[in-house]
Structure formats: structure tokens, C-alpha cells
Structure 1
């Protein structure tokens, strides 16, 4: 990483002169110790360092000053010797420093280009995330508006059946809006199942006014992807509402919820200790709108749903293929 300070021309060329003076002083101090044939030994490192930290111009200045110094003092006779051997030594020096400067400056330029590309990609990713959050925010708001309109229509109708149907539709659309907000909080990628399930069942208990029912959500390390979050949340809430409505007539109860993975599948289980389903109960033959919604969402997940005797109570199990990792 090049210090920005050294990229300024004044500092860069000043450092080049200092590096050359240092290399010259070291070479002069060790002149008696070096055998003949090593006139550039201390100058090559100076050129490499300046090329890396200061760029092309200062590196060329360091190379020229170093070459002239070595030529005058340590190549051939004192002064600028013009013999063929001196010319060969100078040609070797020019070739080596040119290769060093070319690769080092080129490497720095490539690194700077990569940094700019990374910064540009990071800015694009941030812009994309902000746009996604804004879209999700607008979607959840629009769904909430639909829920409010349905609730308003339910309050104005005189038909009890229509009022109940509209109220249930309003509750379900409000749930979808809540799921969308949970995805928004998780950057649109995945919603932690534990947190989402606890919020949903808390709302369900509050809506029914049941204070004698305990709902426990087993801790899990899984997260729901954007594709599965809405259908799984709706199925979970339908199962919980079904238990609250039918499993505990006039007595306390307990509902257990767990999501786990087995054999490449995800399994959602909602178990209660209530009175259990009727004998030989088949969800597919039920006329309940809630169960029909559950079965439709199960097909959307390409899964299987069952409601069986949990001995005691009822056990609702949703099984569907594990989504691909994102």
C-alpha cells in the first residue's frame, strides 16, 4: 500500500534524493570491503524502494543519480570512462533497473485499479441493498394498506359470515406484511426462525386473549430464506390458531414449536397437549379454510403436511425440501 504522502511530487522526489544519498554513502563507506564488479550493490535497493513508494518519476531520478555515481566512482577509471567494458556494465545496470521499475510501478498501478474496482463494487452493492430495502418497505406498507382496507370493510358489513371472512383475510395479510418487515430487518436475505416465530405466537395469544396457554419455541440455528419465510410463517400461525381455538376448551394448555433439519429436509412441528384431532381425521378432506390455505402453501413449498394424534394432543408436521444456501 503506497502512503499517500509519498505520492505528492515534492515528497516523492525529495525522498528519491535522500534514498540515493543513503545508498551512495553506504557504498562509499563499504568501498574497501567490496570486491571489484559490484558497483551497483547498494543502489538497486534504493531504486526498488523508491519505485514502490513514490512511483515512476522519483524511481527514474534515483536510478539516474545512482548510475552516474557508480559510473564516476566505481566503473573503470575515475570519472566517466567510455570503454566497451564500461558500456556493457552500464547497459546491464539500465536493463536491471528498467525491469525493476516496470514491474513495481505496473504492480502498483494494477493494485490501485483493483482498489478502485473494489470500492466501486462496494458502492454498487450498498446502493443495491438500499434499493432492495426501499422496495421491501414499500411492499410491506402496501400489504398493510390492503389489510387495513379489509379490516375496514369487515367493520362495515352486516353479514356475520362475510365479516368473519374479511377479518381473517385482514389478519393474514397483516401477517404477510410483518414477515416482509422481518426480511427487511435481515437485509432481505433470511429471517431467524426463532425471532419470527416468537413474535407471531405472541400476537396470536394477544389476539385470542388466552393467558392460560403457554407457547414454547425451541431454539434453532436455522434461518428462513425470503422464498420460504411467508408460507412457513402462515402455516405456523394457522396451526397455532387452530390449537388455540380447538385444543383447549376451557382449560390451560401448552404448545411446542420446533424447526429442524433431517435427511436434506426441513421439518416444522407444532405440538399441543390438548384434546387431539378426531379419529381418522384427514386434513385433505377438511372444509376448514385455514387447513385449505395450509395445504395450498405446502404445495408451494413442494412439501407434505400432516395433522395426527400426538398422544396427547395434536401434532402438525410440515416437511419440505431444504432450500439452497444463499
Structure 2
């Protein structure tokens, strides 16, 4: 309300001077009406608020006009005998009035100036932040598109390859690259800021199930509103998807199953657990000694997070656990 009123009165000098005259007339009318009620020695009592109002809303020059009109009115009617009294006491009263209104005007004008500067700075910072966010979104959009192009090229090479092993390796690389593109796109939808794990996991796991054509497997993602930073999201989600794909391939060979996904915090660490009710890992299985590319990728991503990855026999099924330290952003 203050911003709109002050801008309206300051946009045209006529409005400002009109407010100044109205404030003076109101103060003069109130002082005249209460003249019999006021004891001697209060000639300016109703005029000080008029000067403050004119200064606050209309600015310096209308405030000076209000102060001058108010001072002359008080001098003529309520300081000494009616008329302009030139005694020493009158001079001291007028000097006191000039000092008080000058201080009021000085501080109110300074406050308004500081407020206007602050408002302009806030608007400038908001514009810079919006520009930065748009630039970040554009960069992330281009990155995800470029990764998607790489995935498409790998898929094309896989289709043209005559070597079954090379075709499978290229197809897996294409699928993993597409996962990274999906993660980047999901972060883009979250304005490039921290993304809630459960929303991100449900969306990407659903895509993985559809890509595998497995409608007989149920994946349950436990509610976890823990925020994943941009640096954390890609390795965590890729590890999750590798665990899910590993379960689809080895835990449920042609039969229905269930996969439970959980992310929680335990002391200074975060733990990602992916549990299935399938056949379970071989006895004394060590992921570090496994020969599959997927496990090597998972171990590399866990090392990137400065964490640990293990696969435990859950009887029935397997439990994949990723533990990594929490960051200051958490």
C-alpha cells in the first residue's frame, strides 16, 4: 500500500503538492477546532504529523511547503497575540519548530531513499537470479539432449553390429547413457536444485520396468523426501537402476517378484537399500570380484560418492546396500 501511494503522489508534482496542502488544511482545521482544549505552549502540535505525512508520501518539496504553511499558521494564530509577533520568545519558538521539522524531513527523506535503493537492489538481484536460473536450465537441457544423442548413436551402432557380444555391450552402454539423460532431465524439471529421492526414483524405475517389458515385477519405493543434490543424484540413481536391472535379469528369471527401495539416514551416512525376493546371490559373493560391467560401474560410482557398496544374501533374495557420507548440503 505504501509503495503504491508514494509512487502515485510522487509521479506528478500536482498530486504531491495537493497532498501537502490537504495535510496542512487538515492539521489547521484540527488545531482550530481544539484551540480551546489545548493549553498554552502547544502551537505546533497538529502540524508536526502533517509535515511527517507529506514528507513520507510526497517527498521533499511538498514537505517543505507543508512545513512553511504550518509554521506561518501557528505563528499568526497561536504564538503570542494574533498576527506576526517579532519578540525573542516567538523567535525561539519558531527556531524550535524549524529544527524539529528539519530533523523529521531529513530522516524521513533518508529512510525513503534507502528503502528505494533497497527495492531497486532487490529487483536487480531477482532479475539476475532469474537470468541465472534460465541459463542453468538451458545448459542442463543441452547436456541432457547431447547425452540422448550419444545414447541414440550407441543404439544405432548396436543395430548395425554383427558381433553379438559387441551388440550387447553397445546396447547396455546406450541404455545406461539414456538413464543419465533421464536423470539430467529430471533434475531440470526440479529447477536444477535438490530433487526429492522418492519422486525421482519412482519415475525412473517405472521407465526401467517399461523398457524391460516386466509387468510382473512390483517395485515399491518407500517415501523418502530426502533431497538429492545435483552432484549426488546421478550416481545414486544410476546405482539404484543397476540394482533394479540386475534383479530383473538374475533374481526373477521369468517369474513375478517384488523389489523394495529405501533411502534413509543413519548417523553421518546415507544408506540406499534395494531388496528383492528372488533367488539371491551365490554363496560368498563379492561384488568387487564380479566380472560384470554393471557391478564395476556400481563400484566406481560408490567410490565417486566416497561410499561402500555390498550385496548381502537376504534369505530369500538379495539386499544391495550403498552407504556414503552425508554432505553439508544435507
- TM-score class, shorter-chain normalisation, is over 0.9
In 1: Cα distance, 2:18 partner to 2:204 partner: 68
Structure 1: which 5+ residue stretches go unaligned? none
In 2: Cα distance, 1:21 partner to 1:211 partner: 82
Which one of 163, 175, 182 corresponds to residue 179 of structure 2?
A: 175
| TM-superposition CA deviations, 1:57-115 (whole Å, max 9, x none) | 11100000011111111112322111111111110000000000111111111111111
In 1: Cα distance, 2:212 partner to 2:33 partner: 93
* Matching residue of 1:244: 248
For residue 214 of structure 1, report the CA deviation from its aligned partner.
1.5
SS across alignment from 1:41: coil
In 2: Cα distance, 1:250 partner to 1:145 partner: 32
For residue 24 of structure 1, report the CA deviation from its aligned partner.
1.2
Task: Please give the residue correspondences for 1:1-326 in structure 2 after superposition, counting only pairs within 5 Å.
Answer: 1-2=2-3, 3=5, 4-7=7-10, 8-325=12-329
The Cα RMSD (Å) is: 1.2
* Residue-pair matches, total: 326
For residue 250 of structure 1, report the CA deviation from its aligned partner.
3.2
SS across alignment from 1:39: coil
In 1: Cα distance, 2:216 partner to 2:15 partner: 77
SS across alignment from 2:311: strand
In 1: Cα distance, 2:132 partner to 2:170 partner: 37
Change (3 A) 1:19 1:211: closer
For residue 211 of structure 1, report the CA deviation from its aligned partner.
2.4
SS across alignment from 1:255: strand
In 2: Cα distance, 1:205 partner to 1:34 partner: 86
| TM-superposition CA deviations, 1:27-57 (whole Å, max 9, x none) | 1222222221111111111111111111111
For residue 26 of structure 1, report the CA deviation from its aligned partner.
1.6
SS across alignment from 1:161: helix
Task: Select between 213-222 and 148-157 the one with higher mean Cα deviation.
Answer: 213-222
In 2: Cα distance, 1:257 partner to 1:131 partner: 34
In 2: Cα distance, 1:273 partner to 1:81 partner: 102
Task: Select between 210-219 and 105-114 the one with higher mean Cα deviation.
Answer: 210-219
- Provide TM-score, normalisation by structure 2: 0.96
Structure 2: which 5+ residue stretches go unaligned? none
SS across alignment from 2:103: helix
Task: Select between 274-283 and 246-255 the one with higher mean Cα deviation.
Answer: 246-255
In 2: Cα distance, 1:67 partner to 1:250 partner: 97
In 2: Cα distance, 1:174 partner to 1:62 partner: 72
In 1: Cα distance, 2:115 partner to 2:185 partner: 40
SS across alignment from 1:37: coil
SS across alignment from 1:323: coil
In 2: Cα distance, 1:98 partner to 1:207 partner: 77
SS across alignment from 1:194: helix
